[in-house]
């Protein structure tokens, strides 16, 4: 049973629905594990990132809420769209928020049997007041992102992020130059552009922005003009930690009369987060109760570098002449890929953060696992920027964090330079890794 789809688009593999040209995703195994541990799994993430196809690869029946008849049935009785061979998929459930409580009851009524439902959502429900239960213990959440370079085929994946936490590293080779990085940043990780030439693939991010402004934002009763101004301000400050006042000033284009108030900025930021278009990196500092975890301003990233590139009107050719902007977009790409690879690792407490102290010492990325293991990463557009001076900064950071025996902070499992341009993944004589992004994988 697949309501709202053309069955000619599917193959049947062991009674599992499968899009005929589905390309496996890194979260596939994680979804499979969660379905064995919970009655239902919710997959969340931005539109066009592949949530539905991933869900269909493990579902045996489905209901699609953007089908008019299915939507009407769900509004009449949410339980009507929860029936089918298990796991049963309900696509874009947030359009009828009452489905959430109905799904929780459905799981309970079936003795919390594992793997009953898959829910997908590309936005936080607008009307959350009708949801009365959290779903804890019944519904697990899995975050999806646009495709990483290893999923789209631009990275060999020879260097495994999870293996680095186990002390395993093997040298690898690739052949990546700055022009490749510029293309990757502008094309983005959208499954729809996988087989397209640059001429056509570069159109997709702009169309995505237009869809957000013309469809998603009005549905949330917000101003497309204000949203466009905020997205541009965020793109101008990509990979930075701008304060609300900075964003407000940039939204006004220098005209104080057009400057929004801080509450408006906050409200529209939350809206973009609810559409899964932004992600924040909080400040990191052990031990757990350190005040800097709270006081450090969050760094803000789009979930894919192609979005700020499209907002700014950047092309690969333009970025080759503006390496400062390219470097910031590359950092956004790295955050996307690291987030994808981390999502495949067990543990709900895993997180990505950054470090900055009051003396200006900064590390771009800290990956911290739920079990306390952690690694430090500096992002460089080119391996030519991997110098002894920059390595010394990483060593200074490690000494500051781990050098006090009374603090009892464990050493990092690895410290690494993650580069755009590069030809080899190797270990320096000081133990710091140098890894081109085109060799990194889960």
- Average of pLDDT values for 122-133? 78
Contacts of 430 (CB under 8 A, 6+ apart): 391, 395
Contact 89, 66 (CB under 8 A): no
Query: Mind listing the pLDDT tens digit for each residue in 17-29?
Result: 766 788 999 999 9
Evaluate if residue 263 carries a pLDDT over 50: yes
List the domain boundaries for the chain: 2-143, 151-191+273-441
Q: What is the pLDDT of residue 15?
A: 54
Evaluate if residue 250 carries a pLDDT over 60: yes
Higher pLDDT, 2 or 323: 323
HEC profile of 194-261? CCCCHHHHCCHHHHHHHHHHHHHHHHCCCCHHHHHHHHHHHHHCCCCCCCHHHHHHHHCCCCHHHCCC
Q: What is the pLDDT of residue 247?
A: 96
**From 2-16, 62-76, 171-185, 256-270, the region with the lowest mean pLDDT:** 2-16
- Average of pLDDT values for 55-61? 95
Tell me which residue has tokens 């997709």.
204
Query: Mind listing the pLDDT tens digit for each residue in 95-119?
Result: 999 999 999 999 999 988 999 999 9
Prediction pTM value: 0.92
Confidence at 148, pLDDT banded by 50, 70, 90: very high
> Beta-carbon neighbour count of residue 33 at 10 Å?
15
**From 12-21, 48-57, 87-96, 273-282, the region with the lowest mean pLDDT:** 12-21
> What DSSP designation does 157 have?
-
> Residue 311's Cα: distance from chain center in Å?
18
**From 28-42, 204-218, 350-364, the region with the lowest mean pLDDT:** 350-364
Evaluate if residue 1 carries a pLDDT over 70: no
Taking phi over 0 as left and psi of -120 to 50 as alpha, with beta for the rest, 112 belongs to left
**How open is the CA angle 439-392-163, to the nearest 5 degrees?**
30
- Average of pLDDT values for 188-201? 94
| Burial class of residue 316 in the structure, from the number of CB atoms within 10 Å of its CB (0-12 exposed, 13-18 middle, 19+ buried) | buried
Query: Mind listing the pLDDT tens digit for each residue in 351-366?
Result: 999 999 888 889 999 9
Q: Which of 269, 184, 205 is nearest to 233 (CA)?
A: 269
Evaluate if residue 294 carries a pLDDT over 50: no
- Average of pLDDT values for 237-244? 93
- Average of pLDDT values for 139-158? 96
**From 42-51, 375-384, 398-407, the region with the lowest mean pLDDT:** 398-407
Question: Which tokens go with 398?
Answer: 């490690």
CATH code of 2-143, in short, is 3.40.50
Cis omega (within 30 of 0) for bond into 287:
yes
Tell me which residue has tokens 């950071």.
397
Q: What is the pLDDT of residue 254?
A: 66
Q: What is the pLDDT of residue 22?
A: 87
- Average of pLDDT values for 117-132? 84
Q: What is the pLDDT of residue 336?
A: 98
> Residue 102's Cα: distance from chain center in Å?
28
Evaluate if residue 189 carries a pLDDT over 80: yes
Q: Which of 367, 369, 394, 368 is nearest to 380 (CA)?
A: 394
Q: What is the pLDDT of residue 347?
A: 82
Average pLDDT over the chain, rounded to an integer: 92
Q: What is the pLDDT of residue 3?
A: 60
- Average of pLDDT values for 197-225? 96
């Amino acid at each position: 049973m697949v309501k709202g789809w053309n069955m000619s688009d599917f193959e049947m593999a062991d009674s599992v629905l499968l899009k005929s040209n589905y390309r496996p995703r890194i979260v596939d195994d994680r979804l499979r594990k969660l379905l064995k541990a919970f009655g239902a799994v919710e997959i969340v993430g931005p539109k066009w990132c592949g949530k539905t196809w991933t869900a269909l690869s493990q579902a045996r029946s489905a209901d699609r809420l953007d089908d008019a008849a299915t939507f009407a049935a769900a509004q009449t009785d949410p339980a009507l769209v929860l029936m089918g061979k298990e796991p049963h998929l309900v696509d874009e459930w947030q359009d009828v928020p009452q489905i959430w409580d109905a799904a929780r009851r459905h799981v309970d009524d079936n003795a919390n049997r594992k793997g009953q439902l898959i829910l997908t959502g590309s936005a936080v429900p607008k009307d959350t007041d009708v949801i009365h239960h959290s779903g804890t213990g019944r519904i697990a959440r899995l975050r999806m992102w646009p495709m990483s370079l290893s999923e789209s085929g631009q990275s060999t994946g020879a260097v495994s992020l999870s293996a680095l936490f186990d002390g395993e590293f093997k040298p690898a080779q690739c052949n990546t130059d700055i022009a490749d990085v510029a293309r990757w940043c502008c094309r983005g990780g959208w499954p729809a552009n996988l087989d397209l030439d640059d001429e056509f693939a570069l159109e997709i991010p702009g169309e995505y922005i237009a869809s957000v402004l013309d469809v998603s934002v009005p549905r949330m009763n917000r101003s497309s003009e204000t949203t466009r101004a905020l997205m541009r301000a965020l793109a101008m400050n990509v990979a930075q930690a701008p304060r609300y006042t900075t964003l407000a000033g940039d939204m006004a284009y220098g005209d104080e009369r057009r400057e929004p108030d801080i509450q408006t900025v906050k409200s529209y930021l939350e809206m973009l987060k609810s559409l899964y278009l932004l992600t924040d990196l909080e400040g990191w500092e052990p031990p757990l109760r350190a005040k800097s975890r709270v006081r450090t301003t969050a760094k803000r990233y789009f979930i894919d570098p192609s979005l700020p590139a499209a907002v700014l009107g950047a092309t690969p050719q333009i970025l080759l002449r503006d390496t400062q902007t390219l470097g910031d977009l590359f950092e956004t790409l790295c955050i996307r890929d690291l987030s994808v690879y981390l999502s495949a690792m067990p543990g709900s407490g895993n997180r990505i953060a950054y470090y900055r102290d009051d003396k200006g010492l900064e590390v771009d990325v800290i990956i911290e696992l739920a079990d306390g293991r952690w690694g430090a990463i500096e992002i460089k557009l080119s391996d030519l920027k991997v110098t002894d001076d920059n390595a010394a900064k990483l060593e200074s950071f490690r000494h500051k964090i781990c050098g006090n025996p009374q603090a009892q902070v464990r050493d990092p499992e690895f410290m690494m330079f993650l580069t755009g341009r590069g030809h080899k993944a190797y270990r320096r004589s000081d133990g710091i890794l140098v890894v081109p992004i085109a060799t990194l994988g889960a």
